[in-house]
Amino acid sequence: MTNILQKGFDTLHQTPPFEHIKEENYLPAFKELIAEAKKKVNEIANNPDEPDFYNTVVALEKCGEKLGIVSHIFFNLNHAETNEQIQSIAREVSPLLTEYSNDIWLNASLFRKIKLVYEHQDMLSLSDEQQKLLEDSYKGFVRKGALLKGNDRKRYREITTELSKLTLQFGENLLAETNAYQLHITDKSELEGLPEGVLEAAAGIAKSEEKEGWMFTLQFPSYVPFMKYAANRELRKQMYMAYSMRGNNENKHDNKSLIKQIVSLRVEKAKLLGYDTHAHFVLEEHMALSPDKVNSFLQELLDASIHVARQDVKEVEEYAHKKGLEGKLQRWDYAFYGEQLKAEKYGLDDEATRPYFRLEKVEEGVFGLATKLYGITFKENKEISKYHDEVKTYEVFDADGTFLSVFYVDYHPRATKQGGAWMTSFRDQHKDGSGDVRPHISIVCNFTRPTENKPSLLTFTEVQTFLHEFGHALHGILSNVTYESLAGTNVYRDFVELPSQIMENWATQKEWLKDVGLHYETGEVIPEEMIQKIIDSENYQSGYAMVRQLSFGMNDMAWHSLGDVFDQDVIAFEQKSMAATELFPTVEGTAFSTGFAHIFDGGYAAGYYGYKWAEVLDADAFEAFKENGIFDKETATKFRKEILERGGTDHPMKLYKAFRGQEPTIEPLLKRSGLIK
């Protein structure tokens, strides 16, 4: 019987038929499709015809298409709906995929052909996109070891295989540690300060575990409100310690040894390829280009914000002392007193705004924003297969009715889902002999769940997160390129956050907030006064928020600027890397790096600074919308044509300048953050 994953899907838009895919299908499919792709690679390498752009570069681009689709399906599920069997398959499959990848990049005959085409590109009539694909292909080979010889080549294979296993293990450990902790409370007096909605959600978690009382977890919709509202300081500390010790508990899920191995192997790989550090290797393919440029950028932002951040913390500490706190303000106190101070200063807190942000209405408003800007529409189609009952599936259409994309949304936390929020794809857009192959795009979040008595009501922060991930989704949905490897979000890491972060700007625009902010019970439009409070409070503690993000970027750069194998103390190294940004006393036993999945189990190694880099771009880009009107069709069309549709078909700065007419400056970001007037 044919494995369902090894043939094309006979479904609407060729979407994955999740209900028919079994765990036991994956491993045989991977093995068969890897063998099939290897055969095609060898055919390209051994083709007796003179190598040219089509029989070499394009042929290689297309040879692993089926394998790519199965990989997308499998690894997306490993993040969003995993189990022990899937995790076990992932551990077996990851090295096989790394080996297959190495078989391509280290194929001397294939590289000779690519090199020949690359060296004679001036004689070819290539479009800009074709030129970019050729350049990326050649650089890809060089950056993945094609120039290595003998033992170096063998060692490169060993390193990349080992890294694929270690990074996967890091993520599994973090998920296990997150799921392992539960705070179970049966005495309501211990829950003073927690709003009714938070208590209702906690009671729901307890009930799902067949327990009385209330249960809190380390998943964000449970953890964050607890830290903001629980008056019981000891319990706040307990929650904080559990969250901040993930991966640092000297147990089988401890991540410190993995960090040592990962950073050591990364620097060894960089040296093999001729780079001083992993950061030098990574940043060659980023807008920033070098560690020096990144470090000076981070330092410039730190210099502009550290004094404001210290003042922010001092203000909260003084307020806390007035409220009876004795001694030093600790990390588990900051959110609690900070939220009270915010409520006092602006008459606003997350719980006051929550009733106005019903998930379904926010979704409607977010989709409606895309319609206003780009003319696209979203139509729910319940016939499209999904990997979990909670997932919603949409078809996306252009203004003229042309089909653009399938769009999956997965909103709520589960024990089978990793924390955080992200956009991904099951298929990227590209063009082939049959026409324009449209993408299958997904966003995965961990938003507040509905309860027995209330629908899912979002905090304002969750509204911003929705807009952020939706911006990434638009990058995928609106992609209009020929080659899959250049489509959608396949761009430099410090450019990829521009389409996501620019969307967050609409969250503080009155016209848009009135569209999405309707009280879930009364239907009352969010009051003008409350909107103004949201806008006024947007820069509350902005210095602290800026420095916190910079500390993550500096931690990342420290780990990936190592010039040698690392065998020091992980915690001591981490503390030194973040010392310049430190605003609180050190807490014994806690660690940040052991839970830093972005850089140890994601694609952000030596690239976390990109969030701030892209903020400079998005603040500057949104100025164009403010100048012309925040729903201005002409500005939006230009952003779509020059940024969203173009993917990675040209250098990001060239794309940005085509939209904006100039390079960005840092002032709009500092001004928006309230750091300069």
From 469, 484, 504, 574, active-site residue: 469
Cα of 88 vs its chain's centroid, Å = 24
- Which of 61, 64, 65, 69 has its CA nearest to residue 38? 64
Average pLDDT over residues 43-53: 97
Per the domain annotation, does 68 fall within a domain?
yes
Q: Work out how many domains the chain is built from and give that number.
A: 2
Per the domain annotation, does 522 fall within a domain?
no
Per the domain annotation, does 64 fall within a domain?
yes
Per the domain annotation, does 75 fall within a domain?
yes
Statement to judge: residues 76 and 21 lie in one domain: yes
Phi, psi of 553 (to 5 degrees): -65, -40
Q: Where does residue 84 rank: exposed (0-12), middle (13-18), buried (19+ CB within 10 A)?
A: exposed
Do residues 56 and 119 touch, judged by C-beta distance below 8 A?
Answer: no
Cα 649–653–658 angle (5° rounding)? 80
Do residues 664 and 677 touch, judged by C-beta distance below 8 A?
Answer: no
Average pLDDT over residues 417-444: 96
Statement to judge: residues 141 and 190 lie in one domain: no
Average pLDDT over residues 224-240: 98
- At 8 the pLDDT is 84
Do residues 574 and 592 touch, judged by C-beta distance below 8 A?
Answer: yes
Tell me, what DSSP letter sits at residue 385?
-
- At 1 the pLDDT is 52
The H-assigned helical ranges of 441-509 are 460-477, 498-504
Residue 167 CA to residue 612 CA, distance in Å, equals 24
How many Cβ atoms are within 10 Å of 147's Cβ, its own excluded? Answer: 15
Residue 352, H or E segment = helix 350-353
Statement to judge: residues 108 and 188 lie in one domain: no
Statement to judge: residues 101 and 195 lie in one domain: no
Q: Considering the entire predicted model, what is its pTM?
A: 0.94
Catalytic status, residue 339? no
Per the domain annotation, does 637 fall within a domain?
no
Statement to judge: residues 195 and 139 lie in one domain: no
Phi, psi of 602 (to 5 degrees): -150, -170
Statement to judge: residues 118 and 221 lie in one domain: no
Taking only the tens place, the pLDDT of each residue in 519-574 is 999 999 999 999 999 999 999 999 999 999 999 999 999 999 999 999 999 999 99
- Model confidence at 434, pLDDT cuts 50, 70, 90, reads confident
Q: Is 82 helix (H, G, I), strand (E, B) or coil?
A: coil
Per the domain annotation, does 213 fall within a domain?
yes
Taking only the tens place, the pLDDT of each residue in 560-600 is 999 999 999 999 999 999 999 999 999 999 999 999 999 99
Choose one of 98, 123, 147: the last residue of a domain: 147
Tell me, what DSSP letter sits at residue 358?
B
- Model confidence at 191, pLDDT cuts 50, 70, 90, reads very high
Do residues 319 and 341 touch, judged by C-beta distance below 8 A?
Answer: yes
Query: Please, what sign has the CA dihedral across residues 9, 13, 15, 20?
Result: negative
CATH of the domain at 64: 1.20.1050.40
- At 144 the pLDDT is 96
Statement to judge: residues 208 and 114 lie in one domain: no
Average pLDDT over residues 236-255: 98
Per the domain annotation, does 590 fall within a domain?
no
Choose one of 244, 279, 295: the last residue of a domain: 244
- Could you tell me the residue range of the domain that residue 204 belongs to? 181-244
Statement to judge: residues 190 and 80 lie in one domain: no
Statement to judge: residues 18 and 109 lie in one domain: yes
- At 470 the pLDDT is 98
Q: What per-residue string of b and e applies to 317-328 under the rule 16 or more CB within 10 Å gives b?
A: bebbeeeebeee
Statement to judge: residues 42 and 98 lie in one domain: yes
pLDDT of 14 above 60:
yes
- At 42 the pLDDT is 96
Statement to judge: residues 40 and 122 lie in one domain: yes
Per the domain annotation, does 475 fall within a domain?
no
pLDDT of 676 above 90:
no
Statement to judge: residues 8 and 113 lie in one domain: yes
- At 633 the pLDDT is 97
Choose one of 198, 227, 244: the last residue of a domain: 244
